[in-house]
Amino acid sequence: MKSTVFSVAAFAAVAAAAPAKNNLLAVRQSAPAITDGVILNYALTLEHLEDKFYREVLDKFSESDFEEAGFPAPFYANLKTVSKDESTHVSFLTAALKAANVTPVEECTYDFGLTSVNMSIATASILEGVGVSAYLGAAADIMSKNYLTAAGSILTVESRHSAYIRDALAQSPFPSPFDAPLTYNEVYTLAAPFIKSCPSTNPPLPVKAFPMLTASPENPKTVTSGTKITLLTDGYTVKPADGQSQIYAAFITVTGPVFAEATPVEGGFSLTVPTADEGKAPVAGQMYVVLTGCNTVVTDETTAAGPAVVEVTPS
């Protein structure tokens, strides 16, 4: 397989060269600045994805399929309610954008790879968690108090969805006292593998996808702080510009990133899941991990790849 080498000090090259698995349209250089209208369209893009995902899951699998997979009643009925919530979010955001004379983005074409009930619910859990982190990360940029309140009301519902689905998967429904905010580009990177194409008439969003980073399927089934894991860089390699500086895996939390030294291995990097300092948000629950050459802050400018999603069981 052809491998691309990325320097952690050459972020411009990294950001412009996402792996082939990212089938999103190229980022438009003329994308607008962040405004409330842009943020609402960003939220609508995510809601469209979630809405279509649940509709496809419910179309593909029956209530008996769920029961056979270990999700007895009333899970199927509750999942229908979750699906309806997402459809309502789409309608609400679309109407809000039209009322503000902003063209709302339309639904894209997706490929969720729905092969089983269990895989579908595992994906649902990740999507709900990302949704929570997306709204949380965008909140500080919303200027309108009315929009901020509306976004907050959607965030709390997404959080309840996440807790319910996590509990159904035998994961802690509330693994941390804090949720982690994500930047627009981090969220876009996580959405990228599902989006195959979007209408050409959709307004451009000021976002770009980083190279994909994934947790190895060979990682232990239960990961806690202190567990050694591997993150995969499929089809590309990340190297320090000087050939010798340390590369770090940064676990994103609301109180600041928690860093672990990342060691190059075949196909990616190995690292030990770190422990947060006392008084900080713990490394627990659905964590987001990026590769960086900086061990003090994480920004879009210092991110070389990721985020990867790593489920960390509370200690």
Cα distances (angstroms) measured from residue 192 to each of 14, 18, 313 = 16, 10, 26
Rounded Cα distance, 272 and 203, in Å: 41
CA distance 115 to 257: 35
Phi/psi of residue 22, nearest 5 degrees: -85, 105
Q: Which residues pair with 261 in a beta bridge?
A: 248
Return the pLDDT at 315: 83
Residue 72: what residue type?
P
pLDDT of residue 259: 98
CA–CA separation, 87 and 92 (whole Å): 9
Average pLDDT for 180-196: 96
pLDDT in tens, 66-94: 999 999 999 999 999 999 999 999 999 99
Q: How many CA atoms lie within 13 A of 28 on its CB side?
A: 10
Say how many C-beta atoms besides its own lie within 10 A of residue 201's C-beta.
Answer: 8
**What would the pLDDT profile of 242-278 be if each residue is shown by its tens digit?**
888 999 999 999 999 999 999 999 999 999 999 999 9
The rounded distance, in Å, linking the Cα atoms of 312 and 216 is 14
Is pLDDT at 46 greater than 90 in this prediction? yes
Confidence of residue 31 (pLDDT cuts 50, 70, 90): very low
The pLDDT confidence band at residue 241, using thresholds 50, 70 and 90, is confident
The mean pLDDT value of the chain amounts to 90
Rounded to whole angstroms, the Cα distance separating 281 from 252 reads 10
Q: Is the pLDDT of residue 18 over 70?
A: no
Percent of the chain scoring above 70 in pLDDT: 90
Per-residue pLDDT for 296 more than 70? yes
